[in-house]
């Protein structure tokens, strides 16, 4: 596709008012395929229902109206024609499905990072979230002081007629990092943009991907280089197997046919896009939920259900400067726990699940490990078998990461 310059570039700014549009058609043919639909919390804007009636409206104006009404940002890749006329209408459709329909009509595909949507060439849109996850995984291994700069959240913003080189250099300056390779990008002039906040690493990625570039973060975390996107763009993760590893491998191969899976001892190693891993995570969660509804376990002579975890001790557990939600996710996977967070109560208490956790325990029970992990954030847990409910403690007060 050819690139568009100056006012022909399509990036959507964000304002805050509701634009009611009449319409009575449905979105029956515009829903996203299963692998493109993300499991989102109730506060995700992409699950919000929208009603649209467009008849011959230019793509950029359509996205501008949608961004304003829904208080989201929508970045239109420089290779997508912003003047393409759209004729679409639907009533009560999820915003994510609406974005998918718009992207399809523009011969592109959509993706989302937080409250910011992206419409671009199919190949790049399908890689965006995985590229972001790879960068976040790399940052998780870095010292907290360096990681904070990359994860600092702010709007993606630039003025009218800014060049991509200026945009990238300003982002690097704001993050106090050294960015190499921006001078090799072709000249372009972009319309003004403001989006909801995103981590610095994702703001840089949303600009770089429009030039088929990704970020290679330096080992010391003090800088990065824009590098060509290489294939394949995949995440490698390991999952514990059940009683029949081969059957589970075959079932998962059908569930994520584009992924690469192999058995490694008592684990299945999966190389796949982030969306495929999310489908597997959902399958694991559903299996756990199914097990939780099975008949109650046999009772011990004392009249209480046998609790294997109560007798289990962890020889050694060490974590240094990792986000709390990542630590809980890791514990859930390694100990085969279903961890349920009371997010409404946690948010009301002002507790940030991104706060960093450092901990070292030896010969601790599962409950002791959970209690120690949650204590610094003012959280407590209640465990019933392998289901753990996490909520603020009675004395929890608003905390900062």
Indicate the SS3 state at residue 386: coil
- Owner of token pair 């190499």: 180
Nearest to 3, CA basis, from 163, 225, 204: 163
Q: C-alpha distances in angstroms, 307 versus 56, 303, 310, 330, 341?
A: 64, 12, 5, 21, 22
CA dist 330 and 367 (Å) reads: 15
Q: Which helix (H) or strand (E) holds 307?
A: none
Nearest to 88, CA basis, from 68, 70, 106: 106
Please name the fold of domain 124-228: Phage tail protein beta-alpha-beta fold (3.55.50)
Q: What is the pLDDT of residue 2?
A: 34
Instruction: Please tell me the class of the 6-119 domain.
Output: alpha beta
The Cβ-side half-sphere exposure at 251, using a 13 Å CA radius, reads 13
Q: Are 33 and 97 spatial neighbours (Cβ–Cβ below 8 Å)?
A: no
Stretches where the chain sits below pLDDT 50 are: 1-30, 34-42, 300-305, 397-401
> DSSP labels for 108-153?
-EEEEETTEEEEE-HHHHHHHHHHHHHHHHHHHTS-HHHHHHHH-E
Q: What is the pLDDT of residue 286?
A: 79
For the chain, what are the domain ranges?
A: 6-119, 124-228, 235-292, 308-392
CA dist 28 and 176 (Å) reads: 47
The tokens for 232 are 């394949």
Same fold, 6-119 and 124-228: yes
Strand partners, 379: 392
pLDDT single digits (tens) 69-98: 999 999 999 999 999 999 998 888 899 999
pLDDT single digits (tens) 234-292: 999 999 888 888 989 999 999 999 999 999 988 999 999 999 999 988 888 877 776 66
The tokens for 211 are 């030039």
Question: What's the pTM?
Answer: 0.66
Please name the fold of domain 308-392: Phage tail protein beta-alpha-beta fold (3.55.50)
CA dist 331 and 357 (Å) reads: 13
Give the angle 152-281-349 at the CA atoms, nearest 5°: 45
CA dist 227 and 216 (Å) reads: 7
Q: Are 108 and 102 spatial neighbours (Cβ–Cβ below 8 Å)?
A: no
């Amino acid at each position: 596709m050819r690139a568009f310059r100056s006012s022909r570039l399509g990036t959507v700014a964000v304002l805050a008012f509701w634009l009611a549009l009449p319409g009575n058609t449905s979105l029956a043919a515009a829903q996203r395929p299963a692998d493109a639909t993300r499991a989102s919390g109730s506060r995700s804007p992409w699950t919000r229902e929208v009603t649209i009636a467009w008849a011959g409206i230019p793509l950029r104006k359509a996205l501008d109206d949608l961004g304003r009404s829904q208080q989201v940002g929508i970045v239109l890749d420089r290779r997508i024609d912003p003047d393409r006329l759209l004729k679409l209408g639907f009533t009560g459709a999820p915003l994510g499905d609406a974005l998918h329909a718009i992207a399809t009509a523009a011969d592109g595909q959509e993706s989302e990072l937080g409250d910011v949507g992206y419409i671009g060439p199919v190949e790049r849109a399908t890689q965006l979230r995985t590229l972001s996850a790879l960068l976040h995984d790399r940052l998780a291994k870095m010292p907290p002081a360096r990681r904070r700069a990359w994860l600092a959240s702010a709007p993606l913003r630039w003025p009218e007629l800014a060049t991509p080189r200026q945009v990238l250099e300003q982002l690097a300056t704001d993050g106090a990092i050294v960015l190499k390779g921006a001078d090799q990008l072709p000249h372009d002039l972009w319309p003004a943009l403001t989006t909801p906040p995103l981590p610095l690493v994702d703001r840089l990625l949303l600009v770089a991907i429009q030039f088929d570039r990704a970020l290679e973060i330096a080992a010391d975390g003090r800088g990065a280089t824009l590098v060509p996107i290489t294939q394949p763009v995949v995440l490698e993760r390991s999952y514990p197997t059940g009683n029949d590893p081969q059957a589970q491998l075959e079932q998962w191969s059908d569930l994520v046919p584009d992924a690469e899976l192999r058995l490694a001892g008592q684990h299945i190693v999966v190389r796949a896009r982030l969306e495929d891993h999310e489908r597997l995570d959902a399958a694991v969660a559903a299996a756990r939920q199914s097990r939780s509804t099975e008949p109650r376990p046999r009772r011990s002579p004392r009249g209480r259900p046998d609790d294997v975890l109560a007798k289990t001790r962890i020889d050694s557990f060490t974590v240094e400067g990792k986000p709390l939600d990542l630590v809980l996710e890791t514990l859930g996977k390694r100990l085969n726990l279903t961890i349920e967070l009371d997010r409404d109560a946690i948010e009301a208490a002002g507790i940030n699940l991104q706060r960093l956790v450092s901990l070292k325990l030896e010969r601790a029970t599962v409950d002791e490990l959970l209690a120690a992990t949650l204590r610094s954030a003012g959280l407590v847990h209640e465990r019933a078998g392998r289901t753990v409910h996490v909520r603020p403690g009675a004395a929890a007060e608003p905390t900062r990461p």
